[in-house]
């Protein structure tokens, strides 16, 4: 535990409330990355103090921008005991003419967590319209009440262009919930929840150390919704065992099945990528499409650089059966 705390502390410091820097950087150190593009510039959001924020013209050379939040949201400090401003696993989407940034408020190993939302008219920091508006809590999980964890959000529209949020980490798996049309609260007419993936474990086991699955990302391509998820353990540097698996469904709500027909709610998931001698703990991915090409955005721990967590961007290919793979 001491080693985990020490690593977490080092990681928090490395992702601190740094100001904007003029110099471009490659091999940037990020965790839980997600990406979008506006007017030819790529924007990257990641776990960090105030939410780490970067910009690039080529997805290779990156400029660190000011964090989304200059100080921790007051509502989050009150809602989650122990929260100090280190915000996890953001998710960026363009919806209703605005950029929607969902983010996670939590503490390590606990499911007393919240998912918040901030919006902006633009991601161009030099624009007079650049201003993040925080809308506070969207979903909350409460220890002793909920057997799920409200972190790792991912926004997705269904076939009727209605918004949903996938999320979850450990406990009894990944969830999907219908949102209101403006995407700021859970829809209640009717309220719709689904479990979309899980790792089997004892019903009596409520610790965070089992049921190791998290970070859902749903990507629609042709006739299928693809559910990407990260299995096993992150956040341990070169000892991380994180890996990415995928399943698909013709319906957003599932069931999601792997190539062998095993449902992801039964522990299924076709392996997409795992660590090797050079990169450990690859995972927490997003999928983006730029200029007709699909890309897998994720982090991995660089064995040649003291296990630092770094951004990786790989082109995602598809086989004849419409399953994703990396060349």
Q: Binding residue per annotation — 167?
A: no
Check residues 205 and 318 and name the one with the higher pLDDT. Answer: 318
Mean pLDDT for the stretch of residues 23-35 = 92
**Alpha helix (H) ranges present in 240-326?**
none
**Higher pLDDT pick, 146 / 19:** 146
Looking at 65, 91, 214, 302, which residue is catalytic? Answer: 214
Would the annotation count 169 as a binding residue?
yes
Q: How far apart are CA 31 and CA 241, in angstroms?
A: 15
What pLDDT was estimated at residue 190?
84
Q: Report pTM.
A: 0.91
Q: Are strands 279-290 and 293-302 parallel, antiparallel or unpaired?
A: antiparallel
Spatial CA neighbour of 26 closest among 326, 312, 315, 307: 312
Question: Is the confidence at residue 207, as pLDDT, over 90?
Answer: no
150 assigned binding-site residue = yes
| 2-6, 111-115, 136-140, 273-277, range with the lowest pLDDT | 2-6
Question: Binding site annotation covers 152?
Answer: yes
- Write down the pLDDT at residue 8: 41
Mean pLDDT of 133-156: 95
Asked if the model's pLDDT at residue 22 lies above 80, the reply is: no
Do 130 and 123 meet the contact criterion of CB atoms below 8 Å apart?
yes
Q: Is 32 annotated as a binding residue?
A: yes
Average pLDDT, the chain: 90
Reported as a pLDDT band with limits 50, 70 and 90, residue 272 is very high
Q: Is 170 annotated as a binding residue?
A: yes
**Does residue 146 carry a pLDDT above 50?**
yes
pLDDT of residue 20: 40
Average pLDDT rounded to a whole number, residues 217-231:
97
Q: What percent of the chain has pLDDT over 70?
A: 90
DSSP state, 202?
A: -
Contact 286, 299 (CB under 8 A): no
Which of 114-123, 124-133, 197-206 has the least mean pLDDT? 197-206
- Is residue 149 a known part of a binding site? yes
User: Are the C-beta atoms of residues 120 and 133 closer than 8 Å to each other?
Assistant: yes
Count the neighbouring beta carbons within 10 Å of the beta carbon of residue 146.
17
Clarify whether 302 is annotated catalytic: no
pLDDT at 201: 67
For the question of residue 32 being annotated catalytic, the response is yes
CA 246 – CA 254 distance, rounded (Å):
13
pLDDT band at 233 (very low <50, low <70, confident <90, very high): confident
Taking the mean position of all CA atoms in its chain, how far away is CA 39? 23
Is 202 labelled a binding residue? Answer: no
User: The CATH number of 25-326 is which of 3.40.50.300, 2.115.10.20, 2.30.30.30, 2.40.50.140?
Assistant: 2.115.10.20
Q: Which member of 32, 91, 257, 258 is catalytic?
A: 32
């Amino acid at each position: 535990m001491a080693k985990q705390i020490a690593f977490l502390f080092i990681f928090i410091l490395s992702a601190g409330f740094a100001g904007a820097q003029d110099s471009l950087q490659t091999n940037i150190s990020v965790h839980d990355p997600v990406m979008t593009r506006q007017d030819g510039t790529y924007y990257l959001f990641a776990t960090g103090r105030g939410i780490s924020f970067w910009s690039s013209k080529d997805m290779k050379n990156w400029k660190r921008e000011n964090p989304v939040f200059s100080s921790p949201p007051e509502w989050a400090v009150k809602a989650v005991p122990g929260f100090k401003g280190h915000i996890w696993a953001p998710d960026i989407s363009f919806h209703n003419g605005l950029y929607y940034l969902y983010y996670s408020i939590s503490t390590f190993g606990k499911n007393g967590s919240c998912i918040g939302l901030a919006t902006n008219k633009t991601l161009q920091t030099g624009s007079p319209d650049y201003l993040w508006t925080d809308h506070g809590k969207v979903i909350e999980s409460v220890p002793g009440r909920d057997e799920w964890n409200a972190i790792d959000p991912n926004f997705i529209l269904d076939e009727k262009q209605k918004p949903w949020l996938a999320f979850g980490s450990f406990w009894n798996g990944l969830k999907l919930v219908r949102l209101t049309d403006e995407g700021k609260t859970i829809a209640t007419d009717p309220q719709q929840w689904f479990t979309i993936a899980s790792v089997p474990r004892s019903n009596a086991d409520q610790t965070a150390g089992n049921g190791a699955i998290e970070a859902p990302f749903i990507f629609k391509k042709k006739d299928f919704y693809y559910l990407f998820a990260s299995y096993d353990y992150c956040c341990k540097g070169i000892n991380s065992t994180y890996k990415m698996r995928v399943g698909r469904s013709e319906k957003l709500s599932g069931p999601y099945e792997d190539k062998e027909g095993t449902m992801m709610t039964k522990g299924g998931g076709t392996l997409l990528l795992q660590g090797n001698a050079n990169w450990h703990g690859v995972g927490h991915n997003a999928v983006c499409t730029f200029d007709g090409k699909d890309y897998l955005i994720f982090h991995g721990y660089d064995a040649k650089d003291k296990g630092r967590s770094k951004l990786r961007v790989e082109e995602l290919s598809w086989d004849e059966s419409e399953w994703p793979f990396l060349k």
